[in-house]
């Protein structure tokens, strides 16, 4: 028998479990450990609440969790309730699939002012992540600035723009929905430090901004490079996205709210009297793909600043960290003997949910190469973990427990919404009678 522990129950963790479960069948036991009592990581807390079709991938993970040789072990913080060293002693292989839940810092003056938040916090707030339930973002200033030209920036701008009707069918948490409906933000400026040809926005997500009920995108045609240069874009998706920007510039719409695309705009500092009031921006130009400051500055008013510039993995004792890349040190997924990283913990925060599948399968095949199917490592595995947790009085949750929490969330849903997420882990445990 072989015993494997996967730390993190997001997409990368589940794809790895799926691959290991298929490869080893009944000759392995796989524990997917999560610090929260509930599974799915990024799917539950990162994917936008109005993108329910993307969240449906959890149906596939559910099947994995219900396999005979797989267990979900929630409410167990690795690095706290149990150490990585202990896990490596108990299991034949440990796979870090923690994702990258922390915000990268902007590193500019004023970042610490009230009203400046990272996207992990802001997205976590409207997605019901327990760590960010109390965020209380200022939505009363009229202006918001979103820093970054990726899909997360688009998610944030869209969530700040939608009407109550447009949130129907979503699972945005009630506390965020009510705050957003009382918001007085009418201008959302997306600051992109480079130009339209350097965006990391995909056409589906960008296209959505052009179809909002009360908000219209605003693109300055002067920022767009000559149309014929789009043909040289090797990435067809990017060419399509730039095409959408051209359409936004050519067909301006008049609506109550505006999402301004401010290209060639690098944030220099955030200013205000005890709270964010404006972002001081430097105009840039792009030279050889790099952004170069021109020295010309201007102010963008903003009571709320959301930086959407990428994420980093958590520091956990016993896991070597690559500080420059904000992820675990690894060589093609291998950290050490019997110790691996997958997904964003391996590659950094890039790619779609599907990108994690080959990642997980690759690490599973590295494990299979090192430990033949049918071999025995003599490790204690899940039983050993259970005794440790019992000694330490840690109330782990199972997939059956998650089913009970899920049923309570579904029962509490607003009309038309799939669920009202329970935000407080203590309440989840109360439902389970722990
Ligand atoms: P991202 O795609 O890497 O975009 C980050 C953006 O931040 C880039 O435009 C980058 O500009 C900018 N940036 C970085 N540092 C900056 C700084 N110091 N000042 C100003 N701007 C800065 O990251 P993301 O938007 O967080 O998305 C993460 C991953 O999740 C991506 O692969 C994304 O596609 C995916 N995702 C997908 C969906 C979806 O499919 N619906 C939704 C959300 C996220 P430079 O290019 O100039 O560095």
Domains and CATH numbers, the chain: 2-101+311-432 (3.40.50.720), 105-307 (3.50.50.60)
What distance, in Å, lies between the first and last C-alpha atoms of the chain?
31
Alpha carbon distance 297, 264 (integer Å): 11
pTM: 0.97
Instruction: Give me the pLDDT at residue 232, please.
Output: 87
Structure tokens at 45: 């807390």
Beta carbons within 8 Å of 268's beta carbon, 6+ residues apart: 108, 280, 281, 282, 297
Structure tokens at 423: 């935000």
- What's the 153 CA to ligand 1 centre distance in angstroms? 7
Beta carbons within 8 Å of 107's beta carbon, 6+ residues apart: none
Instruction: Give me the pLDDT at residue 236, please.
Output: 84
Ligand 1 test: best mutation among 152, 344, 353, most atoms within 8 Å of CB?
A: 152
Task: Establish how many alpha carbons lie within 13 A of residue 323's alpha carbon, considering only the half-sphere containing its beta carbon.
Answer: 0
Structure tokens at 369: 């190469």
200 lines ligand 1 (CB under 6 A): yes
* Helix, coil or strand: residue 390: helix
The pLDDT of residue 235 is above 90: no
Q: What is the mean pLDDT of residues 315-332?
A: 97
Ordered DSSP codes for 57-103: THHHHHHHHTSTTEEEEBS--BTTTB-HHHHHHHSSEEEE-----EE
Is 219 in contact with 187 (CB distance < 8 Å)?
Answer: no
Task: Return the residue whose CA atom lies nearest to atom 14 of ligand 1.
Answer: 309
Alpha carbon distance 334, 162 (integer Å): 43
Is 146 in contact with 306 (CB distance < 8 Å)?
Answer: yes
Chain-centre distance of CA 173, in angstroms? 16
Alpha carbon distance 205, 215 (integer Å): 15
Instruction: Give me the pLDDT at residue 9, please.
Output: 98
Instruction: Give me the pLDDT at residue 331, please.
Output: 98
Tell me the pLDDT band of 234, cut-offs 50, 70 and 90.
Answer: confident
155 lines ligand 1 (CB under 6 A): yes
* Helix, coil or strand: residue 391: helix
* Helix, coil or strand: residue 393: coil
Instruction: Give me the pLDDT at residue 84, please.
Output: 98
Query: With helix as H, strand as E and coil as C, how does 24-50 read?
Result: HHHHEEEEEECCCCCCCCHHHHCCCCC
Alpha carbon distance 160, 183 (integer Å): 8
Is 72 in contact with 34 (CB distance < 8 Å)?
Answer: yes
Alpha carbon distance 5, 70 (integer Å): 10
Is 275 in contact with 113 (CB distance < 8 Å)?
Answer: yes
Ordered DSSP codes for 279-297: EEEEEEEEETTEEEEEEEE
Atom of ligand 1 nearest to the CA of 291: 47
The pLDDT of residue 216 is above 90: yes
Query: With helix as H, strand as E and coil as C, how does 364-383 read?
Result: HHHHHHHCCCCCCCCCCHHH
The pLDDT of residue 318 is above 90: yes
148 lines ligand 1 (CB under 6 A): yes
Structure tokens at 10: 């997001």
Instruction: Give me the pLDDT at residue 242, please.
Output: 98
The residue with tokens 């999402």 is 259
Give the CA distances from residue 325 to residues 78, 111, 313, 329, 347, in Å, rounded to whole numbers and listed in that order: 22, 21, 9, 9, 9
Instruction: Give me the pLDDT at residue 350, please.
Output: 93
Averaged pLDDT of the chain: 97
Task: Establish how many alpha carbons lie within 13 A of residue 359's alpha carbon, considering only the half-sphere containing its beta carbon.
Answer: 29
Tell me the pLDDT band of 120, cut-offs 50, 70 and 90.
Answer: very high
- What's the 199 CA to ligand 1 centre distance in angstroms? 8
Q: What is the mean pLDDT of residues 373-380?
A: 96
pLDDT tens string 10-36: 999 999 999 999 999 999 999 999 999
Alpha carbon distance 434, 426 (integer Å): 9
Q: Return the CA Rg of the chain.
A: 23
- What's the 208 CA to ligand 1 centre distance in angstroms? 17
Tell me the pLDDT band of 434, cut-offs 50, 70 and 90.
Answer: confident
The pLDDT of residue 83 is above 90: yes
Pairing of β 339-341 and β 334-336: antiparallel
Is 78 in contact with 314 (CB distance < 8 Å)?
Answer: no
Structure tokens at 295: 């020295």
pLDDT above 90 coverage of the chain, percent? 97
Beta carbons within 8 Å of 258's beta carbon, 6+ residues apart: 186, 187, 188, 215, 216, 217, 218
Tell me the pLDDT band of 272, cut-offs 50, 70 and 90.
Answer: very high
Task: Return the residue whose CA atom lies nearest to atom 21 of ligand 1.
Answer: 148
Atom of ligand 1 nearest to the CA of 198: 46
């Amino acid at each position: 028998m072989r015993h494997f522990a996967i730390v993190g129950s997001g997409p990368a963790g589940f794809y790895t479990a799926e691959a290991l479960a298929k490869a080893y069948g009944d000759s392995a036991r796989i524990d997917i450990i999560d610090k929260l009592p509930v599974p799915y990581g990024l799917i539950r807390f990162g994917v936008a609440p109005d993108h329910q079709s993307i969240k449906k991938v959890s149906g596939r993970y559910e099947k994995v969790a219900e396999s005979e040789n797989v267990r979900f072990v929630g409410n167990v913080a690795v690095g706290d309730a149990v150490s990585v060293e202990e896990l490596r002693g108990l299991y034949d292989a440990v796979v870090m699939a923690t994702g990258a839940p922390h915000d990268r810092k902007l590193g500019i003056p004023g970042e610490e002012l009230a009203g400046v938040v990272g996207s992990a916090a802001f997205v976590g707030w409207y997605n019901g992540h327990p760590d960010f339930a109390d965020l209380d973002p200022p939505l009363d200033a009229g202006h918001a600035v979103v820093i970054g030209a990726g899909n997360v920036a688009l998610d944030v701008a869209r969530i700040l723009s939608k009407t109550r009707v447009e949130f129907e069918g979503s699972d945005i948490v009630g506390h965020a929905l009510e705050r957003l409906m009382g918001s007085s933000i009418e201008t959302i400026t997306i600051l992109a430090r480079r130009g339209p040809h350097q965006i990391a926005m995909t056409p589906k997500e960008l296209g959505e901004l052009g179809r909002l009920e009360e908000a219209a995108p605003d693109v300055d045609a002067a920022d767009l490079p000559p149309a014929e240069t789009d043909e040289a874009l090797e990435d067809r998706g990017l060419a399509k996205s730039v095409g959408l920007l051209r359409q936004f510039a050519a067909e301006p719409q008049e609506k109550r709210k505006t999402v301004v695309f401010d290209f060639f705009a690098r944030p220099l500092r955030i200013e205000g009297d005890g709270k964010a009031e404006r972002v001081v921006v430097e105009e840039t130009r792009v030279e050889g793909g790099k952004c170069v400051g021109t020295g010309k500055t201007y102010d963008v008013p903003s009571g709320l600043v959301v930086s959407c510039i990428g994420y980093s993995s958590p520091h956990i004792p016993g896991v070597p960290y690559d500080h420059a890349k904000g992820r675990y040190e690894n060589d093609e997924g291998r950290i050490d003997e019997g110790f691996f990283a997958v997904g964003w913990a391996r590659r950094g925060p890039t790619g779609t949910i599907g990108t994690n599948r080959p990642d997980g399968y690759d690490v599973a095949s590295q494990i299979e190469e090192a430990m033949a199917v049918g071999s025995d490592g003599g490790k204690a595995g899940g039983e050993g973990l259970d005794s440790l947790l019992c000694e330490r009085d840690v109330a782990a949750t199972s997939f059956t427990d998650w089913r009970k929490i899920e049923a309570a969330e579904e029962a509490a849903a607003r009309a038309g919404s799939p669920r009202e997420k329970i935000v407080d882990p203590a309440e989840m445990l109360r439902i389970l009678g722990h």
